[in-house]
Amino acid sequence: MIEYTGEISPLKTDLSILKKLNLETPPIGVKFLYNEPKGIKKLDKKLAICIMPEEAANRGAFYVDRTNFECAEPLFLGFAADDPFSNAGLIGTKEGLNIFQEARANRRIYDVLPTLKKDTCNFMIFAPLKEINFDPDVLIITGNARQAEIVLRAYTYSTGSLYESKTTPVIGCAWTFAYPYITGKLNYVVEGVCFGHLARKVSTPGYVTVSIPFNLTKLIIDNLNEMTWELESYKDTREEYSERFKRVTSSRLIQEK
């Protein structure tokens, strides 16, 4: 059993409604920590952070430290955010991974990359839904577009908030993990549009990964419990929906000659 501390508190929200989404892989709870957690096993190998949710889904909850990462995680987790070679944009040039025309294009991402303050995150926890017994900092949900629509609609259902997707062509994992944690904003990314996810065969191209920060978790869960998931309009043919729309609007928006 994980030991609760000033950094780790018990789960406050019942997440069981998420099982109804019938996702191929379970939602993953993520925790950013300064202190080493107790009551949970440490991952025994190196992995890229984008693969860690898949690892947690397959083997169960674990924690990692900086020695477990093998990709560009240090650039946004605060381990090596000031690395001159990376910040100069030299990784993605033709002499490197051949993603950008010149270093000048690659280096622009480092001006916007969401980055944790240096040395404030020394450990991270990854846990699948059935093992989330702590209040996660970020809840990661990956599914097809239809499943993602339900989660996104739960976000806007009571708030009217816009759907907003932010990522960069490389180090897209920063926008899945660090961005919602730092900003408190929900983010979603389409799998297959970021270089590293394609190169490492992460998830299924076309699937959508939604990242929910801790301040929005209860709101979204409450709305999932209240709202209608399968709207009647989605079951209509095109013609049936046109008629439904006319009835609802009393044809006010239909321009007659």
Over the chain, what is the mean pLDDT?
Answer: 95
Distance CA 72, CA 74 (A): 6
Q: What is the pLDDT of residues 32-81, one digit of tens each?
A: 999 999 999 999 999 999 999 999 999 999 999 999 999 999 999 998 87
pLDDT for residue 177 is more than 80: yes
Mean pLDDT of 104-121: 95
Name residue 172's beta-bridge partners: none
Q: Closest Cα partner for 158 from 230, 231, 214, 223?
A: 223
Q: Please report the pLDDT score of residue 250 as a whole number.
A: 85
pTM of the model: 0.94
* Phi, psi (degrees; rounded to nearest 5) at 141: -125, 125
Q: What is the pLDDT of residues 150-175, one digit of tens each?
A: 999 999 999 999 999 999 999 999 99
In which order are the strands placed within the sheet that holds 208-213? 62-65, 123-128, 28-33, 138-143, 208-213, 187-190
pLDDT for residue 255 is more than 80: no
Side chain identity at 32, as an amino acid letter? Answer: F
